Structure 1
Amino acid sequence: MRFRGGLVAMLTAAALVCVGCSSTVAGNPGPGMTPVNVADLKTGPYKPEPTEYEPDISGVNDIRTIEARRMLNYVVHSYEIDPDIDVLGDIEFFWNADWFVQSNTFPEKYKPAALDNNLVAGAYVSRINGDLRSRKKLIISALRFPTEAASKKAAVEFDQITNSDPGRHPVPIDGHPGALTSSADDITGISFVAHGPYVIVVNAGVPQPNQSALADVIRRTITLQVARLDQLKSIPLDDILDIPADPENIMRRALPEAPDYSDPFTGDLDFGAFEPSGELHFERNPAKVRKAFDESGVDLVGRRGGVVYRTRDLQAAFRLQTVLLEAGRDDEELPPPPGLPDARCLRLDSSDAVRLFDALCGVVYGRYVAVVVTRIPITSRSATPLYQRAAAQYAILAKSE
């Protein structure tokens, strides 16, 4: 499955959802939030209470997908290389050679190298800049193989396959003599680097033919990506299931999939607990959100039907919500859902690239911020499904304490 979505900038408002001082809710969300009667919230088909997160693990591919999601936490962000490259194109996870090419990310011709060397897992992120006249791109992928020998062999074979196209030439990368890099036009270049059991793949593009500029983008990307992979603790596949599926109940606090199958996305490949660095790949303004994560003390994110961010405290949650829901120039702010005066909702000018939504709401309860999404038909002005999701998500947070 492929994640898609648009990238728009999300709501500027500085507030979110509220407190449940109702006797039906245990705990006190803290000062500064408007009291909410949780029992009166209209949640539609959703259960207004937490549900256990029990991922479907039915085979080795599911185990490898867990590893792929873990690897995403260590993939370099394009804004770290060039702040202009911030428009999300795609995020993908790999668990075998078949999906490696079926996901519409790597061409079919690369399958033999992935298959022969037993690709274990991988994560892939692509972004471009927003200037059509001066296009830049950066695709970064980290691929895990069973051994260091297999990764070295895979890198060589990937490079040989790439250079089977006529007219390509090598591009030297300073400081990385092992980087197998080539280009046909000095506008785009592809590099394969074996590092331990991993292969780093960098596909970069610059606006005009300029080999030195292209090589510099690739060099800086490889340098950062090598350092990140050095931080990634290698876990044997047999031990992957020992990783908690719901650390500190972050997934239990998130809205589950829609029981009526009305979610704008299909599949649950991106469901799971992520480090802030992993979640940033899904965000529309990653550099700005990164700063907000740091300032708000975000230390854990759960992606389910809703996305829940754990911050330092209530004040930090409000600050984060302001950034997460910052409206873009052509976005439309929607009224808050009934009974949730502090919630903020937004209709996007363009759809999200990963989950395909074009409308979202943000709520806060205590130290948690949660974002829920939907897709509003062009012919409709009704935000009822979105409001029901927001109400249910608020109730879930309130009853999780």
Structure 2
Amino acid sequence: MNWGDVPVMWGGRARLRWLTPLWLAPMMMLSGCGQTVEGAAIGAVTRVDPATLETGPYPVEPTAFDPDIQHPYQVYAIEARRMLGYLVPPFEFDAELTHLDDVELIDSSSDGLFGDGLNAVYPAEFQDVMQRHHLIAGVLTIRSNDSVRALKLANHALLRFPSDEAARAAAADLDATLHGLNPDLRGLPVPGHEGVEYRTGNGSKGYLVVARGPFVVLTMLNRHEPDEEAILAVASDLLDLQFERLASATVTPIDEILDLPLDPDGIMRRTLPAMKGEWLYGESFVGALSPQAQLHFELDGAAAREAFEDAGVDLVARNYATVYRAGDEQAALRLHTVLAGPARDDEEIDPPPGLDDARCRVLAQEDPVSEYGSVCVLAYGRYVAVVGSTQPSSLGLDPGLYQRASAQYAILARSEA
């Protein structure tokens, strides 16, 4: 079976991967955010005494961020989260690719991403190549146009190797592996990039494998019908943007990764931590991110980019909540309005008791990365927080959602004291 001929399951539901057959597509459209509308604007946040809020068992004081790092992959994940800031989101090189399907950190020692398993993204042969050339860290984003009849999709990854030479060797081996899996592939020159070829067999699905310094760009582009001119134009734009981003990238030496600040400006101590024994989806994403890195997790990435720029967002923290730092309190209120805006068919619900300025809603379509089915958005000072619940809406409203939102508010309030 050739790589990409069948859909791959992730987290118990179908996900668009390297190619989804059109006859299966109606079952795949589970994660789009739909058309956005304006949320209810707030002119100022009414300060609330944290002691009056119902916070359940959750922590209400700022907590020192001290991750338990015991394995090499946890060290490399620190660098991978930083690399998300260099990975170009698909909607930047193709404006139609707005629908978020997946975000992953790539670890060559993890069997889950490779092979024929339910969670697989890459063929097993890719794992051998990455291990042979000592992959340090990788990041992956998948976005589509959420169309049943005219599917477009990009599976775009950035891999980091120990040296320029290792990256070139890995790219050559990945390219050779692709040819072994797909003998009918032919190379088409990418406009504006001498010596770079886009590998395709039918003109509708194809691959880029390009080394740049210690990095390898590994990308699959797919469109519903063959159009070599159009897809080469997208490939050219992709590489223009990705190479420009890599030109400003810094590479952290392996033995200095743990010297990187894990809690810059105390942003993580302001973020609700998961309680011991409590399941947290996407644990590898826990940490401080640049705004550019956070864009990969936003359902409407293009709108979020504009909102971040308008609000002066300069730092984001992900833990059991996501906290954004804006330029000032008024900027935070503008960001709150955008992040609280419901997507089509979302159901707005009451805010937590005592937090009248918070905005909560049940999502019509589950978030494909966090698996949130409902969220609350709140603001305090220059910070905006998004708190969610993975409990299915069929089980009713998760009481922990309101408790976690209240606890997050309390943490923000007390971190300013």
- Under a length normalisation based on structure 2, what TM-score does the superposition of the two structures give? 0.88
Q: Secondary structure at the match of 1:70?
A: helix
Give distance in 2, aligned partners of 1:379 and 1:201.
Answer: 39
Query: What residue in structure 1 maps to residue 27 of structure 2?
Result: none
Q: Of 377, 380, 397, which aligns to 1:362?
A: 377
User: What is the aligned length?
Assistant: 384
Give distance in 2, aligned partners of 1:346 and 1:260.
Answer: 26
**Matched-pair contact (CA < 8 Å) for 1:155–1:180:** no
Give distance in 1, aligned partners of 2:349 and 2:393.
Answer: 15
Listed one character per residue, the Cα deviations across residues 20-49 of structure 1 (whole Å, up to 9, x for unaligned) are xxxxxxxxxxx9222312111001110211
Q: Secondary structure at the match of 2:288?
A: strand
Asked if 1:44 corresponds to 2:56, the answer is yes
Q: 1:96 Cα shift? A: 2.7
Query: What residue in structure 1 maps to residue 101 of structure 2?
Result: 89
**Matched-pair contact (CA < 8 Å) for 1:337–1:343:** yes
Q: Secondary structure at the match of 1:75?
A: coil
Give distance in 2, aligned partners of 1:96 and 1:230.
Answer: 25
User: Pairwise mapping of residues 2-151 of structure 1 onto structure 2 (< 5 A)?
Assistant: 6-8=31-33, 12-15=38-41, 32-99=44-111, 101=114, 104-151=120-167
Give the counterpart letter for 1:304 in structure 2.
N
Query: What residue in structure 2 maps to residue 28 of structure 1?
Result: none
Q: Identity, % of aligned pairs? A: 39
Listed one character per residue, the Cα deviations across residues 181-212 of structure 1 (whole Å, up to 9, x for unaligned) are 31121111101001011111121112311111
Q: Secondary structure at the match of 2:59?
A: coil
**Matched-pair contact (CA < 8 Å) for 1:11–1:322:** no
Structure 2: gaps spanning 5 or more residues:
1-9, 16-29
Give the counterpart letter for 2:208 in structure 1.
S
**Matched-pair contact (CA < 8 Å) for 2:295–2:305:** yes
Q: Secondary structure at the match of 2:395?
A: coil
Q: 1:15 Cα shift? A: 4.7
**Quick one: higher RCO (CA 8 Å, sep 6+), 1 or 2?**
1
Query: What residue in structure 2 maps to residue 349 of structure 1?
Result: 364
- Under a length normalisation based on structure 1, what TM-score does the superposition of the two structures give? 0.91
Query: What residue in structure 1 maps to residue 26 of structure 2?
Result: none
**Matched-pair contact (CA < 8 Å) for 2:142–2:155:** yes
**Matched-pair contact (CA < 8 Å) for 1:202–1:222:** no
* Root-mean-square deviation (Å): 1.9
Q: 1:230 Cα shift? A: 1.3
Q: Of 226, 229, 234, which aligns to 2:251?
A: 234
Q: 1:266 Cα shift? A: 2.9
Give distance in 2, aligned partners of 1:375 and 1:330.
Answer: 18
Structure 2 vs 1, CA of residues 200 and 65 (structure 1 numbering), >3 Å: closer, same or farther?
same
Give distance in 1, aligned partners of 2:162 and 2:47.
Answer: 54
Give the counterpart letter for 1:335 in structure 2.
D
Over 6 Å off, 4+ runs: 2-5
Listed one character per residue, the Cα deviations across residues 30-80 of structure 1 (whole Å, up to 9, x for unaligned) are x92223121110011102111111112113221111111111111001111
Query: What residue in structure 2 maps to residue 328 of structure 1?
Result: 343
Query: What residue in structure 2 maps to residue 26 of structure 1?
Result: none
Q: 1:267 Cα shift? A: 4.7
User: Pairwise mapping of residues 270-349 of structure 1 onto structure 2 (< 5 A)?
Assistant: 270-349=285-364
